[in-house]
Structure 1
Amino acid sequence: MTIQAVIFDWAGTTIDYGSRAPIVAFQQAFANVGIDITEAEIRQDMGLDKYTHIHKIINLPSVQNDWQARFQVLPTSDDCDHIFMDFKAILLASLTEFAQLKPGMAAVIDFLNDNQIAYGSTTGYDEEMLAIVQPIAASQGYRPTVNITSAQTNGIGRPASAMLELACDRLEVTDYANVVKVGDSINDILEGQNADAITVGIIDGSNLMGWSESDFNTLAPVEQTKLRAKVAAQYEAVGADHILQSMVELPALLASLNQPVTELP
């Protein structure tokens, strides 16, 4: 086959090892209204656009119960809007701290450029958030040709395939089956599957793992192995086509996928 395009996610996949920036912002925005939420509660829906994600969190039974106990009423759509605006302000102020490319990305970029494979992104970030991370990533050599948010697909985000399909269309890709979708969350994999694309889940530095690079590197090798196996099992459970320990392995996978098919006589 010939790979026509590679579509990446942003936080946790290409930048922001451990997808830390959204976690910090979600927890602070809810803490500002007196509600504590766990990383696990946040991460179970990572990959959605951030406004939809706020609604998911606020509708969790634990959050509903805490909200009613604190305010004697259930949260409203206005409450969601308020939390989202606070979340967004916190995230925008911190994104520059989390825009470093993940290990292995330089080699990935070189491979894509050397083989003239188009690449773009879909993301749960909005345009303002992208406006901050894009130039920082570009200064490190990462310059996706297209960057699609749910605002460009009438609010339809992951796990639907609309953003990926729009990215492919703008790259003039004719066959989604020859597209590789690379992500770090379950919603990334589902997005790719819903477009009939090849799906690749990244383990190290992923949302599913959740550890910062420095904290992960302090773990004993046996603990690192356990964490990696746990993440791999989650990708396997949803049927990811390929599971890689890190971005370092992606060029070799792309090279193997990009081989011409030999027809039998």
Structure 2
Amino acid sequence: MTLLETLNRRLLNSATQYPKMPTYHKLERGLLTDDRNTVFPAHQPVIITEKVNGASARVVVDSSGDLFIGSRHELLYALGDRIPNPAENIVHTLRDIARDLPRPGDGLAVYFLEVYGSGIGSAWKQYTGRKGEYGARLFDAAMIPADALEGTAEQIAAWREQGGQKFATEKELAGITLVSDIPLTPRIATIPGAGVPATIAEMHPYLCVVAGETRVALDEDGFGNAEGIVLRTPDRSHIVKVRHKDYEHTAKARARARAKAA
């Protein structure tokens, strides 16, 4: 019997979910403020990656090669069709490539991927104009010791959201994609922490320059707009998301407020 077969699936599902990623500028009632959720160390490198807009997925692997495939919130498939669920075309897209992901020496390895393309999410037409076109990009990975699943569901959820999962560094992510041939989300640039725009007024135009168009289009028939970026340090001690829609919505709300006050 494999490690994955011995674990409680409800607890396994909770322990391997991706924790919430904060926005760079804080959101209050749906609008951004100039307060930031993180301030990057001035001299530390910050990696800018494209944030792909599809369905977040995960592949959980143990040392035997047994594996589960899940969406953001539920487990959809286990090796041998033990729990087949075709939701969001995640299983269809990941079933074959999941077997190439590295096995951990012990405990569990969790690989987080964005599955995108035809009919997946509201933004799928940005990437393709054709039916049946799907892609997947690795955006994170984590190691989870087996004893992390010994608590209650509430304890495990708190452990996860408080940073209990041991995430891969940028160097380790590069190694994973090298041996598995599964591409990472696009690396756009690396800048010093001091170069990250501090205010909304600075970040919005910067975002339009560095990530106006997607780098992961599946064909030439999509509209081609990027969702945004993720800013992360190489050791992943700081990580935040920056989305076009948040800045556009905030800019429109501020313009309406100014017009009303005039």
TM-score, normalized by the shorter chain, greater than 0.5: no
Q: Name the structure with the higher strand share.
A: 2
Q: Name the structure with the higher helix share.
A: 1
TM-score, normalised relative to structure 1:
0.28
